[in-house]
A and B are shown apart, each in its own frame.
Chain A
Amino acid sequence: MTTPQGVAAPGTAPGAAVATHCPYCALQCAQTLTPTPGGRLPVTVTGRDFPTNRGGMCQKGWSSPEVLAAPDRLTTPLLRDVKGGALREASWGEALDLIVGRIRETQERHGRDAVAIFGGGGLTNEKAYALGKFARVALRTPYIDYNGRFCMSSAAAASNRAFGMDRGLGFPLEDVGGADAVLIMGSNVAVTMPPLVQHLAGVRSRGGLIYADPRRTATARLTDSGAGVHLQIVPGTDMAVLLSLLHILIDEGLVDAEYLAKRVSGYEAIRISVSAWWPERAEQVTGVGAETLRRTARLLAAASPARGGRGAYILTGRGMEQMASGTAAVTAAINLALALGLPGREGSGYAPITGQGNGQGGREHGLKADQLPGYTSIADPVRRAHVAGVWGVDPESLPGPGVPAVELLRRLGAQNGPRALLVHGSNIAVSAPNADEVKEALMRLDLLVVADLVPSETAELADVVLPVTQWAEEDGTMTNLEGRILRRRKVADAPGEARSELWILAELARRMQVDGFSEEPSAVFDELARASAGGPADYSGVTYARLDAGEQIHWPCPASDDAHPGTPRVFLESFPTPDGRARMIAVEYVGPRDDVRVEAPVYLVTGRVLTQYQSGAQTRRVGELIDADPLPYVEIHPSLAESYRIEDGALVELTTARGSVQLTARLSADTRPDTVFVPFHWPSSANVLTNDATDPTSGMPEFKVCAVALRAVVVKEEVGA
């Protein structure tokens, strides 16, 4: 339906414009890249009409070609001969031989589990798959996980538990435009995914946008002028809001009883579990008035199909998921959606908004400690046999489940923990919680290999640095936030000797005398598709040829004789659970693990700015983005600043139980007077402070809220003093 016009498919003559997608977030805005031989930048970019971004792009997308020509782009492998010494240039042969030699040595001395892989949610499906296979077949280690654990793991765990499947948006994003109410919890979409806001125009025109956030963000402003409701909650209390909304629906008889009877199990226990959340009690916990909670619940109910509305959506983001009870919070959101009869109905639904570019695909193909391709369990003997068959190995030889990211990082270099680590597509020295401790763990390793585009903070700690290709320099597929499989296409050559991870893994495997690793993306994709067959994320009916012909395919898309069209909307008939019903699971609210107290009396929340992405390794290298937000900062309410005698622009020291940083104050009435905000894209900022307590189900760390003490480094002069 959106065959790019006047845009060449791959493999056509160089110089032709190419249809691809933005390198950054999971919205994967469609772009057209046109090569500019001899220009300062290798390509120019324009937005391309597509159902998700409708031609729009934010500043990160517009400036994305800058990263191709980053002045400090890695162009040759680098080696560090002695710990603490300098990195020197090396040939690929020398670097790869060294890695294989050291891996062999480490595994001989400490066992196969002494080597680990850490991947990223920005890698293509093919790379994610190849890394997972490399860990299980070449290294035969259980230790593999990825930074998606910091991103989608709570939402994924809760969705799998409730629906039997996790596909991010189980419906095309365009569907949201027709709803009467959309509740967004913990996702500042106007800043993190601006083009998505186009899809909220309809609901705003009908006054139905509901948004919960301790800050009056750009997304909160979308609710102004009658467009909806902003619930300016106390940090960390999203879940209490959800429990109370469900309490009100039950109380006022607004649940979809017919749907609950037909499509859901476990409702009785839920009814009891929310009985303690009458709105006057929730008010005290959340800071949102009881009447406002009632109005919100009624607005959602009126929009629900059972009550004749056009439909309603509940969307969650990292703001409520990156908590030590993130899985429970998402479960509360799902329970609310089920009570309203939304999931599996056209025009309504629940969904988590995936963050990273391939955060969806990354969690489907085996990058996670407990999973095999097709989004299946590595503990399931049937799946082990199937995947081992595709890989041509004995199922017994496949390792079992490893440990989630935070635990993996904790074990690095520790007693019986991994002693060598390969990092691909992740800047853990900045992005992991309690980042200073992570850096120490990385320093303890016998071997740290980092494959990256630029000398990221993590690459700077490495023994071996491998230069890799990036988005416009490679072919592959990405799976966007709505489970739509997209083609990423090569338009420019990588500088110097940068190579794709697929080539690197194939070369390492060859040196280890292991077969079955191709450097050809389409060949890897075909194998991935076979390996995924029969799993929830079934790609076996998808080919590059179909995608290149312009087909829009959402998984599951099983292989079939008549070209299965894919599944734009899931759960319409039933849920992929044993009894076909969605499961409601009772959850208990627990407040922030590191809650405010006398020594740390203010809430710290963390998040993003529009012009930066993730740890900033790419976006901190783009001049115009840095100009927009040059340095990390702390946003403080003027009245809070006044009580600490902090002036706008002055240096503030923030101290938590983990660490301490100094940041510039930005005074703004947009945050609550009890809450400060720090963006996390920079080293030595938010994640030095954040809490590495994790969710018992998903392993998600509590990035989003902790208690902090403030101190003005230079105290403001009292007027007249």
Chain B
Amino acid sequence: MRRIVVIGDGMVGSRFAEQIVEADEGIHVTLLGKEPIPAYNRVLLSSVVAGTKSADLLHIAKQHPRVLRLTGVAAATIDRDLMRVIDSNGRSHPYAELVIATGSVARVPAIQGVADSGGLIDGVFVLKDMADAEGIVASAGRARRAVVLGAGVLGLEVATGLARRGVVVKLVHIAERLMERQLGWEASAVAESGLRRLGIDSHTGASLARVQTTRGRVTSVRLEDGSEMLTDMVVMCAGTIPETTLARNAGLVCERGIVVDDQLATSDPHIRAIGDCAQPPGGARGLVAQGWQQATMLVAALTGAQVQAADTAATADVVRVKASGMAMVAMGVCGDFDRADPRYRVLSLKDPEGGRFVEVVVSGGQLVGATCIGDADVAATLSALYTRQLPVPSDPAQLMIKALAGGGAPAATRDPADLKDDEKVCNCNTVTAGRIREAVADGCSTVKDVASRTRATTGCGDCTSLVEGLISCHRSPSTSPAAVAAVPQGA
């Protein structure tokens, strides 16, 4: 028996625990989770805020006889010498391997009045865990106005979610563009007008100076430029910070996150770190797909199990906003990059009126980046193409407007008079329009006649209306010169 202790029962820690006990029957896992509930789908918390997802549908924790799951129990210290973790109840958990998956915490900007000794004041929120989401939902039920600070992915999702609940939202963002890491100037402008249509005002290049309260309740915020906004609540979506406290206290090498190598090992070979708390050589992206892939890789590293062909989307840096009423996706080279860079071929489609913006960046025959707002189908095509590095058409413009549509007109709408003689009418029996015209000219006057002569319509029957059309074209040849011309002489 080999005991692995996992600190953090989040999306990544729980997946690791569940996978490793499946991969090796000799492994037992102790999973410490500081929240009162077992692992849930944190990515969808913004959908709980939007009311498109009910909180009890987020649970992902699977029971397993070899996973000891402790909820409401935080790790207090890591004793590396004795290879054990002491939890918040003072109990000791010895480990052969320790996996830190503590995730990240919300960054709380230094704004006057957001917090007191008891933490964030009433009416001010971050969105990091289920309790936050529930607090926001409860507050939104009473609020008429809300200020959302930060227009990153989460900020946009929260802003649109609150708007969906009928709250009047103002979005305050310190950078000059919305989602400035993903969106360039034009894309940001399109996104801004899209938000306006949903009733959300954006204030870019702005930040909060203080939150003002009256009798313990948030009433307004004051911006750095001195202006004031009335509001009943404030949600801060100002980014996250890797949760490294335990690791630092244990003397592990940390920079922004806990530094790990390709095998996800920290500076202590018996301690690994995965998910948002870790800082791998290629950098952390803060996306759950990366954490899940690390979990799978670590299972392989610790058990020697084969890594199954992973979800190809996992490694890709595709950012998809789950905003109600706004499709937005950005990947790879995007944001404010050098569009004159000779390595790149950049194409863009701007349709501010239609709330649409599409930009693709091609380099060496591959899609290396894209931004798409307001066209869900194109967004889906681009992310599928980008994550798999599939070939790009020599004219990349084809990717920008419903790339996969095309093909001929549907059979039902084809006009029988316009059919060329060599065009197939009955696919099931390979019967062309010419052969049917021949049969009609020879005296076949009903579909049944044509069927017994040519077999047309006897398969799926879908061409029956076309055959009827070809028969009636023949009856009134004046309206259909093609039909007359098609009758072979002496056939």
Within 8 Å CB of A668, what residues of B? 407
B406 within 8 A of A: yes
> Does A670 contact B407, Cβ atoms closer than 8 Å?
yes
State whether B459 touches A59 (Cβ < 8 A): yes
**Out of B44, B59, B411, which one reaches A278, CB within 8 Å?**
B44
B383 touches A628 (CB 8 A): no
Q: What's the Cα separation between A680 and B390 when bound, in Å?
A: 24
Residue of A nearest to B63 (CB): A269
Which chain B residue lies CB-closest to A693? B309
Q: Which residue of chain A has the shortest Cβ distance to B412 in the bound complex?
A: A225
Instruction: Check A590/B308 contact, CB under 8 A, given A224-B410, A643-B391, A670-B407.
Output: yes
Q: Are B462 and A601 in contact (CB under 8 A)?
A: no
Q: A293 to nearest B CB, angstroms?
A: 9
Q: A631 in the interface, Cβ–Cβ < 8 Å?
A: no
- If A58-B428, A284-B313, A601-B390 touch, does A251 touch B460 (CB 8 Å cutoff)? no
CA distance A674 to B381 in the complex (A): 10
Q: How large is the interface on B (under 10, 10 to 19, 20 to 34, 35 or more residues)?
A: 35 or more
Q: A287-B384, A601-B389 are in contact. Are A278 and B459 (CB under 8 A)?
A: no
Q: Please state if A62 and B404 are interface contacts (CB–CB under 8 Å).
A: no
For chain B residues 369-401, which have a beta carbon within 8 Å of chain A? Answer: 376-377, 379-381, 383-385, 387-395, 398
Interface contacts (Cβ under 8 Å), in number, total 192
Q: How far is the CA of A639 from the CA of B390 in the complex (A)?
A: 12
Cβ of B327 within 8 Å of any chain A Cβ, yes or no, is yes
Contacts of A190 in B (CB 8 A): 427, 460, 462
Given contact pairs A286-B384, A640-B393, A272 touches B60 in the complex (Cβ within 8 A): yes
- In chain B, positions 177-229 with a C-beta closer than 8 Å to chain A are none
A611 within 8 A of B: yes
Measured between beta carbons, the chain B residues less than 8 angstroms from A303 are none
Q: Does B53 contact A (CB under 8 A)?
A: yes
Q: Does B363 contact A (CB under 8 A)?
A: no
Is B475 positioned at the interface, with any CB of A under 8 Å from its CB? no
Is B249 an interface residue when CB atoms closer than 8 A count as contact?
A: no
Q: Which of B62, B316, B404 contacts A673 (CB 8 A)?
A: B404
Q: Is the CB–CB distance between B462 and A643 below 8 Å? A: no
On chain B, the residues within 8 Å of A273 by CB distance are 62
Q: Is A672 in contact with chain B by the CB < 8 A criterion?
A: yes
Report if A285 contacts B (CB, 8 A).
Answer: yes
Whether A222 lies near B388 (C-beta < 8 A) is no
Q: Which of B376, B393, B411 contacts A290 (CB 8 A)?
A: B376
Specify the chain B residue showing the minimal Cβ separation from A215: B407
Residues 244-275 of A contacting B (Cβ, < 8 Å)? 250-251, 253, 269, 271-273, 275
- Contact indicator B427/A218 (Cβ below 8 Å): yes
> Bound complex: CA of A668 vs CA of B393, how far in Å?
14
A655 CB → nearest B CB, Å = 15
Q: Please, how many angstroms separate the alpha-carbon atoms of A361 and B313 in the complex? A: 41
Q: Give the distance to chain A from B51, nearest Cβ to Cβ, in Å.
A: 12
Known interface pairs A59-B429, A190-B460; A673-B391 also in contact (CB < 8 Å):
yes
- B301-339 CB contacts (< 8 Å) to partner A: 308-313, 316, 318, 320, 322, 327
Those of B405-429 within 8 Å (CB) of chain A? 406-407, 410-413, 427-429
Q: Which of A210-226 contact B (CB under 8 A)?
A: 216, 218, 221-222, 224-225
A596: chain B residues at CB < 8 Å are 388-390
Q: Which of B44, B320, B376, B398 contacts A292 (CB 8 A)?
A: B376
The answer on a CB contact under 8 Å between B406 and A197 is: no
A22 to B339 Cα, complex, angstroms: 63
Complex: chain A residue closest to B410, CB-CB: A224
For chain A residues 24-65, which have a beta carbon within 8 Å of chain B? Answer: 47, 55-59, 62
Query: Which of B54, B61, B403, B459 has the most chain A CB atoms inside 10 A of its CB?
Result: B459
* Complex CA–CA separation, A225 to B462 (angstroms): 14
Given contacts A195-B460, A289-B376, whether A284 and B57 have CB atoms under 8 Å apart is no
Asked whether A610 lies within 8 Å of B393 as measured between CB atoms, the reply is no
Known: A197-B460, A590-B308, A639-B394. A284 touches B318 (CB 8 A): yes
B60 CB contacts on chain A under 8 angstroms: 272, 275-276
Q: Does A380 contact B (CB under 8 A)?
A: no
Q: Contacts A291-B376, A640-B391; is A591 near B311 (CB within 8 Å)?
A: yes
- A578-614, CB < 8 A from B: 586, 589-593, 595-596, 598, 601-603, 610-611
The contact of A595 among B53, B385, B388, by CB within 8 Å, is: B388
Contact of A284 among B384, B411, B430 (CB under 8 A): B384
| Contact present for B404 and A672 (CB under 8 Å) | yes
Select the residue from A191, A280, A610 with max chain B CB neighbours within 10 A: A280
Which residues on the B side are within 8 Å of A284 (C-beta)? 313, 316, 318, 320, 380, 383-384, 387
Bound complex: CA A593 to CA B377 (Å): 26
Encode contact with B along A220-239: 1 for CB under 8 Å, 0 otherwise: 01101100000010100000
Q: Is B71 an interface residue (CB 8 A)?
A: no
Interface flag for A288 (CB, 8 Å) = yes
Indicate if the CB atoms of B312 and A595 lie closer than 8 Å. Answer: yes
A198 beta carbon closer than 8 Å to chain B: yes
Closest Cβ of chain B to A709, distance in Å, is 11
Q: How far is the CB of A79 from chain B (nearest CB, A)?
A: 40
A216 to B404, CA, bound (A): 9
Query: CB within 8 A of A275: which of B58, B379, B412?
Result: B58
Chain B 345-368, CB-CB to A under 8 Å as 1, else 0, gives: 000000000000000000001000
User: Which residue of A is nearest B52, CB measured?
Assistant: A251
Question: Hey, what's the 0/1 contact readout for A649-690 against B, CB within 8 Å counting as 1?
Answer: 000000000000000000011101110000000000000000
Q: A58-B429, A59-B429 are in contact. Are A283 and B57 (CB under 8 A)?
A: no
Question: Which B residues are CB-close (under 8 A) to A624?
Answer: 430
Is A674 a contact of B429 with CB atoms below 8 Å? no
Would you call A472 an interface residue if the criterion is a C-beta within 8 Å of the partner chain's C-beta atoms? no
User: A250 contacts B41, CB within 8 Å?
Assistant: no
Q: Is there a chain B Cβ closer than 8 Å to A196's Cβ?
A: yes
Neighbouring B residues of A55 by C-beta, 8 Å: 458
A289 partner residues in chain B, CB cutoff 8 A = 327, 376-377, 379-380
Decide if A309 is an interface residue (CB 8 Å cutoff): no
Flag if A56 contacts B387 (CB, 8 Å). Answer: no
Are A639 and B309 interface neighbours, CB within 8 A? Answer: no
Q: Is B128 an interface residue (CB 8 A)?
A: no
Chain A residues with CB under 8 A of B109:
none
- Would A194 and B410 be within 8 Å (CB), given that A591-B311, A624-B430, A639-B393 are in contact? no
Tell me which of B313, B394, B410 contacts A221 (CB under 8 A).
B410
Q: Please report which residues of chain B, range 442-486, place their CB below 8 angstroms from some CB of chain A when the two chains form the complex.
A: 455, 458-462
Q: How far is the CB of B466 from chain A (nearest CB, A)?
A: 13
A72 CB-CB contact with B under 8 Å = no
A283 to B387, CA, bound (A): 11
Within 8 A of B (CB), among A612-643: 624, 627-628, 639-640, 642-643
Confirm or deny: B43 has a beta carbon within 8 angstroms of a beta carbon on chain A: yes
Contact B311 A602, beta carbon cutoff 8 Å: no
Q: Mark B48-80, 1 if CB is under 8 A from A, else 0.
A: 000011100111111000000000000000000
* Contact B384–A234 (Cβ < 8 Å): yes
Question: In angstroms, how far is the closest chain B Cβ from the Cβ of A559?
Answer: 39
Report whether A232 and B460 are in contact in the complex, using a CB–CB cutoff of 8 Å. no
The reply to whether B380 and A288 contact each other, CB–CB distance below 8 Å, is yes
Q: Which 4 A-B pairs have the closest CB atoms?
A: A639-B393, A197-B460, A224-B410, A287-B384
Mind listing 16 A-B residue pairs with CB under 8 Å? A59-B459, A195-B428, A221-B407, A271-B59, A275-B59, A281-B313, A286-B384, A290-B380, A589-B311, A591-B309, A595-B388, A596-B390, A601-B391, A602-B390, A642-B395, A669-B407
Since A289-B380, A601-B390 are in contact, a sample of 17 more A-B pairs with Cβ atoms closer than 8 Å, ordered by chain A residue number, is: A58-B459, A224-B411, A224-B412, A225-B412, A251-B52, A251-B57, A276-B60, A283-B320, A285-B312, A285-B313, A286-B380, A287-B384, A289-B379, A290-B327, A291-B376, A639-B398, A673-B404
* A positions within 8 Å CB-CB of B: 47, 55-59, 62, 190-191, 194-198, 216, 218, 221-222, 224-225, 232, 234, 250-251, 253, 269, 271-273, 275-276, 278, 280-281, 283-292, 586, 589-593, 595-596, 598, 601-603, 610-611, 624, 627-628, 639-640, 642-643, 668-670, 672-674
